[in-house]
Structure 1
C-alpha cells in the first residue's frame, strides 16, 4: 500500500512538472502534449485505485468470517513489525519506556493495534480509529441436525443480525469459522480456522412464483429458510455409519455425520478429535469490480470489512514512517466484533478492549501513574462505520444535500438525536483534516421521518469521554448479502485515515479548550 501511495504521489508531481515545463514554451503541439500527458496520468491513477480495490476484494474473499479477518490482520501486523501482546500476560517488559508497535486480540474476533511513541505523555491523548469486523451472517446452531424432510438433508441455522430473509435465498453458501479440537493422547485443546471456499455446501431454495402467495413472503425464519445440504440415499457412500471412534466426539449426534466429516477434513483432524465449533454460512461468490467504466465494487460483507480494512492498512502504512524513538503520539486501530447485535459482549465495543489497551500500555510505559481522565480528554476517536450512498431509484427517501455519492471521499454521519456521536467540533475537525490531506468530505443525515441506524460511536464516547466522530465509507444495499461501493473509495478511505494519524494532534491543538 505504501508503494502504491508513493506511485500516486510521484504521478502527481510528474504531472505538475509537465505543466510547469510546457508553460515555458509556445505552440499548439506543446498544448496537445500537455493534454495527452494529463490524460495518460489520469488513466494510470485510475489503475492504481483499481489495484487497491482488487486487494480489498481478495481480502474479502479470502477471509469470509470474523475469525479469518482478525487472523489475517494479526499476520499482517506481524509481518510489518508489530509485536503481539497476550491479554493474559504482563505488558511491562514488552513495552517498557521506549514504546513501540504492538497489538493484542480477544476471542479471535476483537483486535487492537497501536503505536506508542517514546515521548508520549497523557496530555497528548490517543488518536483512535474504531471499527467493527463482524458482518451479517448465518450461524450453525449448536445442534444443527435435522431429521430429513421429504428426503432432503437440511441443517439448523440461526440468523446473526437481520439475515435469513429473501436476500439469502438461492445463494451459494459455504461454511467456515473456528473449530476447537483435541488430538488423541493430548490434554491441550487447540483451535483452527476452516473455510470451504470456493465450494458451497448448501443453499436456501426459494419457492417458485408459480405457487402464488406462499412464494411472496415474508418467510418463517425457523421453518422456511432452512439450508438444504443434500438428498442422501440409503445405500452406498450416502449411508451414515459412524465408527466407534467417531462416536467419541462430543459433537456426535448433534450434527449430520457427513457434515462432521467434512468439517474434520477441512480442519485436518479426525471427527473423534472435534470438541466444538463456531461456524458461519456465507456467500462464496467472489466480489468484482463492475460498472461500464469500472466505477463500483460489488462484493459481500462490506459492512464492515470496508472501513476496518482501510483503517488497518492506513495504520500499517503510517507505521512505516514513524520512528517511535522520536514520536510523542499514541495511535491505535481497534476492531470490534458483535456491532450488528448490539456490541454488549466481551469482544464487542462495550467490552472495553480499547480502554484496557490504553490503561495497560500507558501503565507499562510510564514510571509515574498516568491520569486516564487527562488522556481521554485529549483524545479523538473516529468511529468508522459504513454509511449510505444515494440510491438513484429511491432518491426521495434521502435528505437533500446529505446524500453521499461514490468515489468522492469519506462521509460524516450526523444525527441530532444522538444515534451518531459527531458534534459541531468534530465536524469542523474532520473538515480541517480533509483540507490538509487533500480529501473531500460528504455528509449523511436521515430525513426527519426516517429511522437512524447505530454505530459503536456513542458507546465509545460514553465509556471514555473522548470526543468521538462518526464517519465512514458509504455503500449501497447495506445489509444485503451483496453490496456496492465505489471502486476508488477503498483507496480514498486509506488515504483519509493515514492523514488522520499524521495530522490529528496538530489539528486538534488548534481547537484549544473545545
Structure 2
C-alpha cells in the first residue's frame, strides 16, 4: 500500500486500516488493533447532519411504497420551485430553470440547469433506486377460505418473503386506478397502515415441519381475516359486484377497505391496482444515545432521500455552468430491465432533451461531449460492518455507521468505481469536509450489484459507486446511523457545489 505525501509516495504497512478523503491516507492505529479500526474523521464544519435524522424518519414512515416515495419527492421538489415537465410533451427548459419529470410514477429525475450552462458542458448526477424488497399482490389475490382463514395471494418481489417477514405486522399500500364518471382513468395512492396481514410461523413444538426451508407459494401465504361460515352456516355479508369486474378477483374485505380509504362508492370503478405489503412499524431512533435509525426499506430510499436533499441544499451560484441532476429509479432489485429502470433510456432521454432545448439543436457530437464531461455517483446503500460477523468482512474495507459515505469497489465490474472516479470524489469529500470510507467484498463472498455499471456503460460517463452504510440489508427491518442521512446530504451537496471546479483538475 502507498500513501501520497507532499514529497511523493511512501510505503505504509498493509495491515493498517485506511479511509479515503484526499487520496489513501493512513489512520492512526497499531498493528494489534482490530481489522475494523475506526477511520479518521473529517474536521467538523458548520453543516449539521443531525438535523436530517427526523425528516428522514418521517419520510420513511409516511412513504412505504415506491409510488408514495416518488409522489413525496415530487411534492418536495415542487414546493422548492421545481417545475414538472411531462415526458409526453416537448420540453422548453431554460438556463437557470429547475425541473423534474417522472416515469410510471415510480421513477423520478430532477435537474437544475445552471444559469451559465452551455450545451456540451457536463451533468453532475447522483442516482439511486426507490424500490425495495416486498411482496406484491397477485393479479387475482382472492383465495378460497382455508380452515377458517381468509388469505391473500401475494408474490415475492426480488428477495421479499424471506425469513424476516414471518410474524410481522403488515399493511397494504400502492396505487389504484379508478374510472371517473367521464370515463377518464385516475391514479390514486392508498395506504392501509394498520396491521392487516400476517405470515404466521409454525411453533417449534411441531418438530421438523417447523424447520426451513419453507415453500413461499404454500407456506408463506398471509392471513388477513377469518371466515368460519363453513361450520357456522352464517355467511358473511357480500357486496354486489358486476360479473367480470376487477373487484370480483380480489378479497371483498380488501375491496371495501380500499373503497373506504379512497371514498369509492362504486366498486366497479376500480379498474386495477398495484398493491404490496409493508411492515407498518414506524421508523425510529434507537440505541442508548439514539445513534441509530431503525426502519424498513432503507435500501435504497436512504440514498435517494439524501440525494434529493443535497440537490435542494446546493445554492444556485455553486457550479453554475453544469446541470445538477438526481435520478431515483424503480426496479433495481429485479435487474432494472423495465422502462422505469436504470437500464432504460430515461436518463439519456432527459439529458438529450436538455441539450436540445438549451442549444437549439442536438446530435451525437453535442450529446456525447456532454456525457464525456459528466459524472455519475451511483449511490446504493453499502454493507456496514457487523460486530457479530467480523470474519465476513475484508480487512480495511469495513464501513462504520455515522462516519460517512462509503466508496464501493469491485475488480469484476459489479461496481463502477475506478481510480479516476475515486480521486474525483475524494476531492469532493475534501472540499466539503466529508469523510469517505471504502468497502469491498471478500474474495470468498458473492458480490451484489448496483445501477452503476449499467448506467455508466449506457451513458459513457465517468462514475463511482458510493453509498450510505446500513446493517441488515434486505431484512424487513434494517439499521443505519442517525447521522448517516445527513452525512449523505453533506457529500452530495458538496458534489453539486464543487463538481464544476473539481472537474477542471481532471481534463
TM (normalized to structure 2)? Answer: 0.87
Q: Is the 1:249–1:272 Cα contact (8 Å) retained in structure 2? A: no
Shift of residue 333, structure 1, vs aligned partner: 0.1
Distance 1:476 1:465 in 2: 32
Residue deviations 1:50-73 (CA, integer Å, cap 9, x gap) = 442111111001001000000001
Correspondences of 1:492-503 after superposition (within 5 Å)? 492-503=487-498
Secondary structure of the equivalent of 1:61?
helix
> Is the aligned partner of 1:167 residue 2:164?
yes
1:73 equivalent in structure 2: 73
Greater strand share, structure number: 2
Q: Is the 2:49–2:490 Cα contact (8 Å) retained in structure 1? A: no
Shift of residue 369, structure 1, vs aligned partner: 3.0
Distance 1:432 1:237 in 2: 72
1:32 equivalent in structure 2: none
Secondary structure of the equivalent of 1:201?
strand
Correspondences of 1:157-196 after superposition (within 5 Å)? 157-183=154-180, 185-196=181-192
Secondary structure of the equivalent of 2:249?
coil
Shift of residue 252, structure 1, vs aligned partner: 3.2
Query: Number of matched residues?
Result: 458
Distance 1:505 1:49 in 2: 24
Correspondences of 1:356-435 after superposition (within 5 Å)? 356-369=349-362, 371-435=366-430
1:310 equivalent in structure 2: 306
2:285 equivalent in structure 1: 289
Structure 1: stretches of 5+ with no match in the other structure: 1-41
Q: Is the 2:120–2:355 Cα contact (8 Å) retained in structure 1? A: no
Shift of residue 99, structure 1, vs aligned partner: 4.4
Distance 2:299 2:64 in 1: 12
> Is the aligned partner of 1:479 residue 2:495?
no
Change (3 A) 1:505 1:237: farther
Distance 1:152 1:369 in 2: 61
Counterpart among 325, 330, 341 of residue 332 in structure 1: 325
Residue deviations 1:213-247 (CA, integer Å, cap 9, x gap) = 2112121000000000011243899714222xx32
2:500 equivalent in structure 1: 505
Residue deviations 1:242-262 (CA, integer Å, cap 9, x gap) = 22xx32672133111111111
Residue deviations 1:9-65 (CA, integer Å, cap 9, x gap) = xxxxxxxxxxxxxxxxxxxxxxxxxxxxxxxxx9xx99x644421111110010010
Distance 1:505 1:50 in 2: 28
Shift of residue 268, structure 1, vs aligned partner: 1.9
TM (normalized to structure 1)? Answer: 0.86
Structure 2: stretches of 5+ with no match in the other structure: 1-43
Residue deviations 1:355-402 (CA, integer Å, cap 9, x gap) = 111101210121243511101111100000001000010000100000
Q: Is the 1:132–1:337 Cα contact (8 Å) retained in structure 2? A: yes
1:468 equivalent in structure 2: 463
Distance 1:87 1:123 in 2: 22
> Is the aligned partner of 1:144 residue 2:136?
no
Counterpart among 103, 106, 127 of residue 106 in structure 1: 103
Greater helix share, structure number: 1
Residue deviations 1:180-212 (CA, integer Å, cap 9, x gap) = 0113x3210111000012x11110000111111
Distance 2:243 2:325 in 1: 45
Counterpart among 196, 199, 208 of residue 201 in structure 1: 196
2:24 equivalent in structure 1: none
Shift of residue 350, structure 1, vs aligned partner: 0.8
Q: Is the 2:119–2:359 Cα contact (8 Å) retained in structure 1? A: no
Moved more, 290-299 or 153-162: 290-299
Distance 2:235 2:379 in 1: 48
Secondary structure of the equivalent of 2:502?
helix
CA RMSD of aligned residues (A): 1.8
